[in-house]
Amino acid sequence: MLYTRKGDTGTTELFGSPDRLPKDCPLFEALGTVDELNSLLGVCFAQAHSAADTADSSPTTVEYRHLAELIRNVQQDLFIVQAELAGAPKTLDEAHVLHLESCIAEVESYITNPHSFVIAGGSELSAYFDYARAVSRRAERHVLAVRGDYPTSADTQKYLNRLSSFLYALARKANKLAESKEAKPTYT
């Protein structure tokens, strides 16, 4: 059965703990936001695969498939973040941070002017990446907000900090692959 009825009173339990906590505990806001981000990245993954299947040229197909692979790796990492928050003996380490940094550098080399502000949109995949970027920032804030009671490693915190930059870069690359013109804010 997919339900246990144990949470009907507004409480739930953490990994390996018999204690039940209220579902409105800030820890569950952090866990839920990381889960929301992972789900949204699933949409990005599906969009990248769909774009690969409909791309006109082989190099573009390869690039979209590579985007999907990068997304899947991040999704796996986010499961580790959730496990760590829930008290499992799992954590991201320096290798995860370095890998994400190398992915950012790789994507940055493909795009132009990666440091400018851009209005979200352009291609559908780019819009989803920009949305995921905003959710990743919220996830980072929630994880940091509970670190006193539910600590995460310094490497997990670094990874979450880098993740929004990575997703921003992916949004720019998705627009470039789709040949979508990006709009900059006018501030008028």
pLDDT in tens, 60-85: 899 999 999 999 999 999 999 999 99
Type of residue numbered 171: A
Domains of the chain: 24-177 (1.20.1200.10)
Residue identified by tokens 């999704």 is 75
pTM of the model: 0.92
The rounded distance, in Å, linking the Cα atoms of 186 and 59 is: 34
Distances (CA, A) of 115 to 22, 109, 166: 41, 12, 12
pLDDT in tens, 18-40: 788 888 899 999 999 999 999 99
- Report residue 102's pLDDT band, with 50, 70 and 90 as the boundaries: very high
